[in-house]
Amino acid sequence: MNLGQPLGSITQGSLSEGLEVRLHPDVSVEDMRVGKFMVVEGVRSRFFCMLTDVALGNSSNRIVANPPSPNDDFLREVLAGSGTFGTINLSPMLMFTPEEVVSDEWRVASSNAPVNGQSSIASFQPQSSSNMELLPVKTIPSHFSQVYDASERDFRAVFGWEDDPHRRNFAIGNPLDMDVPICIDLDRFIERSNGVFGKSGTGKSFLTRLLLSGIIRKQAAVNLIFDMHSEYGWEAVCEGKQFSTVKGLRQLFPGQVQIYTLDPASTKRRGVRDAQELYLSYDQIEVEDIMLVRNELNLSEASLENAILLRNEFGNAWITQLLSMTNEEIQFFCEEKRGNKLSIMALQRKLTRLDDLKYMRTACPHNYISQILESLAAGKHVVIEFGSQSNMLSYMLATNLISRRIHQSYVHKAEKFLQTKDPSDRPRPLVITIEEAHRFLDSATVRQTIFGTIAREMRKYFVTLLIVDQRPSGIDNEVMSQVGTRITALLNDEKDIEAIFTGVSGGQSLRSVLAKLDSKQQALILGHAVPMPVVVRTRPYDEKFYAEIGDTAWEEKPDAEVFAAAELAKADLGF
């Protein structure tokens, strides 16, 4: 298709239901793809739209009742465009109306069709221009307004470019049919909690690594990543017939990323360098943490109520005291505090499972969480690996416990900053990445987790979430409505698709777009960090990406080369 030629004309439509376009006779309906970015030239305004549906039409039912023979090419060509035609549905997302001072010139220019794919609007400016103001759609174009494929200039006007000096833009991919970067605004991205969704095998981890790499490269925020399956720190395995690996964040940004491990033995077996050990103690666990994992521990409501009695009596040492209590001591405690002996004994028995967690200690002489906070305050990005400790009990307990303490510290820092107004007291924005997010944010447990609080605060204390999940329908609706930017790969379940559009105006028109994505390397992006919803072919995470995004000052070398260089240096010095 020639980008400079109109594809069709608006025949009917509404603001709520979208626009119907009749394709011109020389345009094949097979060239239309759901998710394409298209432009409608109105009389006064320019409309940026997404293609949401493709259909076939005809001018008479007699044609359908008596179709031409498959071999009768002549009759098919005669009917094409008049008796039979293709139609597409467009959903307007943004509009641009030039300033009044240039409106007359613009109307004259708009009367001519675009030439060589260039916009006919003389005043059309790039995204960073102060004269360019993209507005929500409040009206629709008139009958027979012409529809065009979006040009490279249109994409740059709406989504900007990565080297824009006025914004922290990050190219996350390209349109389906063009080689033009689609950028997200990282400053707007970190203002709210965000989500990466998609069914298993659609590349959620790769998408997440892309986003985290962009945040690190552009210095938009610091990251705390709870790496359940050890995919973000050092390296990750690629899916495919042949075994291969891709670099993790530590290899891309060796001077900016630190790895902490809850399973040092597993981390060493995988050849991870310079990982720091991380241990937690019983006195750091609160009753709210136990409530979060009640299903994994099979705890009853009565046991949790008695846990509160124990906490009120023994303070932070309540678990240590409980695990060391004899039957007689439990009996005495119940008589004195009106507890239930059977419930407390059941609680004692089930909490012994915590001894199986390699990172749990009765007491820790070193405060590892304070060490993590120091790293974050210094601008270091922290990846916490779980190794073999990646079962749901282990992951949920450690993630909630660490995040709660870090959030408390950020609340204190934010309140101090609000009091002093001193820029040096301003906390660095923090993005916390969690996987299996529906386990923390479902309706039954969201009140017991720190993540529900963070999601609802919208960066009030400079902390936001990046939630990675394959079952968005399991996330509480109130939390889902607060998710600012949603990057969604293929989903098949109707409930999951419906959950993606919770709190999104006009989301119904995008359902078909999401359902038609390819299973690999395609995603629908909508929300706070992009001006309008867009389908992208995600950026490859490969050697080219490493060279473009990673630290250029550091290059990993084989041990033999390092030792040879060391020996040569000794010889030069006369050793």
DSSP helix, strand, coil percent of the chain (3-state; round to 5): 40, 20, 40
Query: In the chain, pLDDT over 70 holds for what percent of residues?
Result: 86
Q: CA 277, 361, 338 angle in degrees (round to 5)?
A: 150
DSSP strand E in 256-362: where?
257-261, 276-277, 280-281, 360-361
Report the pLDDT averaged over residues 199-221: 91
Q: What single-letter DSSP state applies at residue 272?
A: -
Q: What pLDDT score does 132 carry?
A: 57
Q: What is the dihedral of CA 152, 157, 159, 163, to 10 degrees?
A: 90
Q: What is the 3-state secondary structure (H, E, C) of 41-99?
A: ECCCCEEEEEEEEEEEEECCHHHHHCCCCCCCHHHHHHHECCCEEEEEEEEEEEEECCC
Parallel, antiparallel or unpaired: strands 84-96 and 18-23: antiparallel
State the Cα angle at 60 between 54 and 64, rounded to 5°: 70
Classify 359 in phi/psi space as left (phi over 0), alpha (psi -120 to 50) or beta. Answer: alpha
- Whether 101 shows a pLDDT value over 50: the answer reads no
pLDDT of amino acid 488: 93
Say whether 251 sits in a helix, a strand or coil. Answer: helix
Facing residues of 49 across strands? Answer: 38, 92
Residue 230 has pLDDT above 60, yes or no: yes
Query: Judging by DSSP bridges, how do beta strands 235-237 and 245-247 pair with one another?
Result: antiparallel
Helix (H, G, I), strand (E, B) or coil at 567: helix
Let me know the angle formed at the C-alpha of 1 by 154 and 114, rounded to the nearest 5 degrees: 45
Q: Residue 525 in contact with residue 531, Cβ under 8 Å? A: no
Closest CA to 470 of 189, 190, 233, 201: 201
For residue 480, give the nearest of 450, 514, 451, 511 by alpha carbon: 451
pLDDT single digits (tens) 277-308 = 999 999 888 888 898 888 888 989 999 999 99
* Average pLDDT of the segment spanning 260-276: 88
pLDDT of 164:
82
Query: What 3-state DSSP class applies to 174?
Result: strand
And the tokens for 495? 């409930």
Residue from 171, 248, 244, 222 nearest 548 by CA: 171
Write the CA distances from 142 to 72, 96, 135, 400, 574, integer angstroms. 38, 15, 18, 54, 84
The string of pLDDT tens digits covering residues 330-356 is 898 888 888 888 999 999 999 999 888
In the DSSP assignment, the letter for residue 100 is G
Provide the 8-state DSSP code for 146.
E
- Dist CA 192 CA 134 (whole Å): 21
For residue range 36-78, list pLDDT tens digits in order.
889 999 888 889 999 989 998 887 777 776 777 777 666 666 6
Q: Using DSSP, state whether 332 is helix, strand or coil.
A: helix
**What pLDDT is recorded for position 111?**
40
Rounded to whole angstroms, the Cα distance separating 341 from 80 reads: 83
Which domains does the chain show, CATH number per domain? 8-159 (no CATH), 185-266+367-549 (3.40.50.300), 283-356 (no CATH)
Going by pLDDT thresholds of 50, 70 and 90, the confidence category of residue 113 is: very low
Residue 425 in 3-state DSSP?
helix
194-197 sheet: strands from edge to edge: 182-185, 169-174, 534-538, 522-527, 485-488, 194-197, 463-469, 430-435, 222-227, 381-385, 257-261, 276-277
Answer for the pair 150, 38: CB distance below 8 angstroms, yes or no.
Answer: yes
CA distances from 317 to 322, 347, 356, 545 (A): 9, 15, 19, 49
Q: Does residue 123 have a pLDDT over 50?
A: no
Residue with tokens 């597993």: 266
Helix ranges, 352-391 (H)? 368-377
In eight-state DSSP terms, residue 520 is S
Residue 564: pLDDT above 70?
no
**What is the chain's mean pLDDT, rounded?**
83
More confident residue, 286 or 117: 286
pLDDT, tens only, 510-557: 888 888 888 888 999 998 999 888 999 999 888 888 888 877 544 444
What is the rounded CA–CA span in Å between residue 91 and residue 168? 28
Alpha-helical regions (H) of 391-458: 392-420, 438-441, 450-457
**What is the mean pLDDT of the segment spanning 435-458?**
86
